[in-house]
Amino acid sequence: GSSKAASLHWTGERAVSVLLLGLLPAAYLCPGPAVDYSLAAALTLHGHWGLGQVITDYVHGDVPIKVANTGLYILSALTFAGLCHFNYKDVGICKAVAMLWSL
């Protein structure tokens, strides 16, 4: 039941972390739309799960937890939409980071 779901969640968190480790050199070596959108998804998911743990650790009470989780889902959806919009309408994540490094 819930222990299997927790185990799958833990495995998913580790898989996304390892994916991010692979995407960072890929972003440098072969930047492009596939890497940009993969970074958008992986970074959003990684941040969502991390902030979810902060909520679990520090928010108490039924109503505050529901409000915090709703806010987290809204924030995560807006983050992903914003990154996708940036990838589609602007230079993309890889090129933007390269431009920052060239300053």
Q: Map out the domains of the chain with their CATH numbers.
A: 4-101 (1.20.1300.10)
Q: Known binder of ligand: residue 46? A: yes
Query: Using N-to-C axis directions, what is the helix angle for 33-58 and 93-101, rounded to 10°?
Result: 90
pTM of the predicted protein model: 0.87
Cβ-contact 93, 36 below 8 angstroms:
yes
Residues of the chain with pLDDT > 70, as a percent, come to: 99
Query: Using N-to-C axis directions, what is the helix angle for 93-101 and 62-89, rounded to 10°?
Result: 80
Quick one: tokens of 58? 């520090």
Quick one: tokens of 10? 């833990």
pLDDT tens profile 29-67: 899 999 999 999 999 999 999 999 999 999 999 999 999
Q: Known binder of ligand: residue 37? A: no
